[in-house]
Amino acid sequence: MPRDVGAIVVAAGQGTRIGGVPKQYRLLAGVPIVLRALRPFAAHHEVAHVVLVLPPADAANPPPFLAELAGHGLTLAPGGPERSQSVAAGLAALPPACGIVLVHDAARPFVEPGVIDAVIREARAGVGALAAVPVTDTVKEVSAADHRVLRTLPRELLWRAQTPQGFPRALLVQAHERACREGLTATDDAALVERLGATIRVVPDSPSNLKITTPEDLAWAEAWVESRG
C-alpha cells in the first residue's frame, strides 16, 4: 500500500483532572504517555507523516524528548482552546500528499496496530471509521434536572467511541470547514463528519485502549504495562 496516510495525535489539553504534570508527559513505566501514543503511528508502514498537536507554548518550546524527534516525519503544531480547533491545526500541518488522515488521542497509549490497519482500510474505501467497543452495561437515559430515569437504551446498538478515527482527507477537511463556519464543536471528529451525512463505520477495538483521564486510569495503565512485562 502507498505511504499516503497522515496521523494527527492530539495532545493540546492541559490534563488538569489528573493533577501535577500534564498527563501527556506523565511517565508510564519510564516512557512518556505521549510517546507511547505516537510510536504505533510513526512505525506504521502506511503512515508517511505524524503531526503532534501541543499547547501553543509547548509547540514553541517542546520538552527535549520531543524536540529531538521533530523533523523526522514528525511535526509539532500549536493547538487551540477546543479539540476541533486543534485537529484543524493538525490538518493544516499535514503534507498535501497525505490523502488519508487518522486522528488519535495522545492520552490513549495502548492502541493496537491491527486496529490502525482496520481504520485505514475503511478510510481507503471512502468512508469514515472509528475504533469503538460495544457497551456491555445496561444504559439509562436520565433527566438532567432531577436524575429521573427516562428510558432504558438498547445496549446492542450502543458503542463507546475511541480513537484512532480515520477519514479520506477531503471529507475531514469539509467537516472541519463547515464546523468553523457554523461555530460548531464536538468531542470527536466522527461527530463533525456525521453532520455531513457521510457514512461512518465502527472498527471493533479493545477496552485496553483507554483514555487516561483520572488518577485511577493512570493506576490501571501502570498495572497493565506491568502485567505485560
Single-letter amino acid, residue 52: L
Give the H or E element holding residue 194.
helix 189-194
* Cα pseudo-dihedral 220, 211, 163, 74, rounded to 10: -100
- What's the pLDDT score for residue 22? 83
pLDDT tens string for the chain (229 positions)?
Answer: 779 999 999 999 766 666 667 889 999 999 999 999 999 999 999 999 999 999 999 999 999 999 999 987 999 999 999 999 999 999 999 999 999 999 999 999 999 999 999 999 999 999 999 999 999 999 999 999 999 999 999 999 999 999 999 999 999 999 999 999 999 889 999 999 999 999 999 999 999 999 999 999 999 999 999 988 7
* Rounded CA separation 209/203 (Å): 13
Q: Would the pTM count as exceeding 0.85? A: yes
Q: At how many degrees (to 10) do helices 33-42 and 113-124 cross? A: 50
**What does the domain layout of the chain look like in residue ranges?**
5-227
* Rounded CA separation 2/55 (Å): 31
Instruction: Return the bridge partners of 103, or none.
Output: 8, 165
> Dihedral of CA 135/137/142/144: which sign?
negative
Cβ-contact 15, 107 below 8 angstroms: yes
Give the H or E element holding residue 104.
strand 100-105
- Cell numbers that stand for 177 in this block: 470547514
β-bridge pairing 149-153 and 139-142: antiparallel
Cβ-contact 67, 60 below 8 angstroms: no
CA distance from start to end of the chain: 33
Pick from 111, 105, 132: nearest CA to 203: 132
- What's the pLDDT score for residue 13? 79
CATH architecture for residues 5-227 = Alpha-Beta Complex (3.90)
